[in-house]
Amino acid sequence: MRTGMNTVNDHPPSLDTLVEELRRGEETWGSMSLSARRDLLAVLSEALQQHAQEWVDVACSIKRLSPTSQLAGEEWISGPYAVLSGVGALSATLAALEGGRSPLDGFHLSQAPDDRVAVRVLPHTLFDRLLLNGFTAEVWSKPGVTADRLRKAAGLGQRTPKETGGIGLVLGAGNIFSIAPLDTLYELFAHNRVVLLKLNPITDPLLPVLNKVFAPFIELGLLRIVTGGVEFGAAAVAHPGIGHVHITGSVTSHDVIVFGPGEEGRARQTRGEVLLDKPITSELGGVSPTIVVPGNWSKRDLAFQAEHIVTQKLHNNGYNCIASQVLVLSSDWAQKDDFLKALRKAFTDAVARPAYYPGSDDRCAAAVRDHPGTAKQVADGSRVLLEEIPVGDDIAFAEEYFAPVLAVTSLPGQGRDFLDRAAAFANDRLSGTLGANVVAHPRTIRALGADFTRFIADLRYGTVAVNAWTGVGYLTARATWGAFPGHTLQDAQSGIGIVHNGLLLDGTERTVVHGPFRPFPRSVLTGQFTLSPRPPWFVTNRTAAVTGRRLAAFAGRPGWAKLPGIFASALRG
């Protein structure tokens, strides 16, 4: 085991020592003013900007990508950019509280369906309007939670900074490298918990970089970063000095922690006998759908949205908790065959990449084996497209592949009839509730009117994205991220609780994202008047690495002078 105290140490601190150091750090945390906490975030931001290139180089090494490849853009955007954006949002929230204001002051609030309140978190600044023109994001409250309650509760643990929350264990993810740092910051600032962060073994090479980035937190005893295997993780979960556990991973790992391993653990789960003696929150992925609402599309619309859906699947080679797994089409859509033709081309043409995540090739092989006659594997064997899966008890609907496997299924209907069937299928037949994507022509959305709004409200997912990928919700620092509320330890689905949430809101239910149906300049030429070109997270974006690096630099230190370089790179993508 190595720790954040010692990058290389023949005699690392024991678990008891780490917990004792964090206990003293908790006292320090409770004595720190909001201003001092903001200063810590500022130092972290500077350190991350200084070491961002090192971070991305290590990330590319882990994923066996060339640092000069366009795919390196994924590591810039889902790594340093995401963390720097999160730090900026938290800093603004602390500044509002320090000034005696609600973090929601200056944000637009409106009514959402069924007695909900919508908080518009994107765009918030003029920079947002320029850099992500055409994209919006709202955080919806739970039904019955009023705007006044949202304002009064915003800030969570930072409203009472002296009331600390003990020591939390964060079990980091191994796929997206901003997850563990952002989860750590959420524990510290939302819940006032100091943190023992155990890295996923895949991300162990990032330990030296994370030590540098989080140095001020480590020096004050607010954070310890450790590596280790399953045995160390189990010991940390069971340690009496640790009062809370947060995991990003699979539902299988969650259930082992809560109920124990093997047959005995499964028997306990069936009986509802919890073995874990402390609270746990989680983000556990699931089977994410992309629902295509039938309409009248141009050939360029078909090609662009095929690229969009392939991005939703193949970003990070499918090793994303919200990678689209089931594409839902209308069997009555006149353009269904044309769209499938465009999808096959985009799926086949996508840049090949190594299967770095353990077990990926085995899961792809199992998908082919389980779907004889419908599985289409690209020539290099790296990706699997399942056409068409009948609606039924298929494994593709029940288990997350966490691999480059995309299944296609169809439901009958047009208009509201199709929307009702699609919502019921996604809610009741697919495992998990983390994220759902919807693709619909603007004319179709306008024609459906209130029926389309009802459809979005009916989808029981923690993030719903319309003409955007739910990954945009992940990257929006002030949006909430997590499963739809209501899951239990016995049936955790996509998890319990939320993270990110830079406004530190309470009483939230979901995030709803909207994006442009077409990229600039075609959007303007067809009357949509949005200025975003092909997004830099698209797997087809040729300048993603340059744009991602420039976006990360902007997130760390926003300024007008940086915009021309970002726009120039983005437009070439």
CATH number of 288-541: 3.40.309.10
In 3D space, the residue among 505, 506, 529, 502 whose CA is nearest the CA of residue 518 turns out to be 529
pLDDT for position 531 = 84
pLDDT range class, residue 5, cuts 50, 70, 90:
low
pLDDT for position 573 = 86
Neighbours of 412 (CB within 10 A): 11
* pLDDT over threshold 50, residue 332: yes
With a CB cutoff of 8 Å and minimum separation 6, the contacts of 554 are 127, 131, 562, 563, 566
* pLDDT over threshold 60, residue 205: yes
Summarize the confidence of residues 334-345 as an average pLDDT.
97
User: What is the β-pairing status of strands 405-411 and 324-330?
Assistant: parallel
* pLDDT over threshold 50, residue 125: yes
Task: Give the separation between CA 308 and CA 315, rounded to whole angstroms.
Answer: 10
User: What is the β-pairing status of strands 288-292 and 508-514?
Assistant: unpaired
Instruction: Count Cβ atoms within 10 A of the Cβ of residue 372 and give its class: 0-12 exposed, 13-18 middle, 19 or more buried.
Output: exposed
With a CB cutoff of 8 Å and minimum separation 6, the contacts of 257 are 237, 245, 247, 276, 280
Helix (H, G, I), strand (E, B) or coil at 563: helix
pLDDT range class, residue 10, cuts 50, 70, 90:
low
Instruction: Give how far Cα 318 sits from Cα of 355, 374, 483, 561, Å.
Output: 10, 20, 19, 35
- The 10s digit of each residue's pLDDT in 300-310 is 999 999 999 99
pLDDT for position 528 = 76
Summarize the confidence of residues 67-89 as an average pLDDT.
96
In 3D space, the residue among 362, 325, 534, 274 whose CA is nearest the CA of residue 437 turns out to be 325
Terminal CA-CA length for the chain: 42
* pLDDT over threshold 50, residue 7: no
C-alpha angle 371-376-380 in degrees, rounded to nearest 5: 125
Neighbours of 56 (CB within 10 A): 25
Structural tokens at position 61: 């090494």
- Overall CATH class of domain 15-103+158-249: alpha beta
Task: Give the separation between CA 217 and CA 49, rounded to whole angstroms.
Answer: 16
How do the domains of the chain map onto residue ranges? 15-103+158-249, 288-541
User: For residue 481, what are the β-bridge partners?
Assistant: 499
* pLDDT over threshold 90, residue 4: no
pLDDT range class, residue 82, cuts 50, 70, 90:
very high
Task: Give the separation between CA 71 and CA 77, rounded to whole angstroms.
Answer: 10
15-103+158-249 against 288-541: fold identical: no
- The 10s digit of each residue's pLDDT in 422-453 is 999 999 999 999 999 999 999 999 999 999 99
Least confident span in 34-38, 373-377, 389-393 = 373-377
Structural tokens at position 67: 């640092």
Task: Give the separation between CA 539 and CA 343, rounded to whole angstroms.
Answer: 14
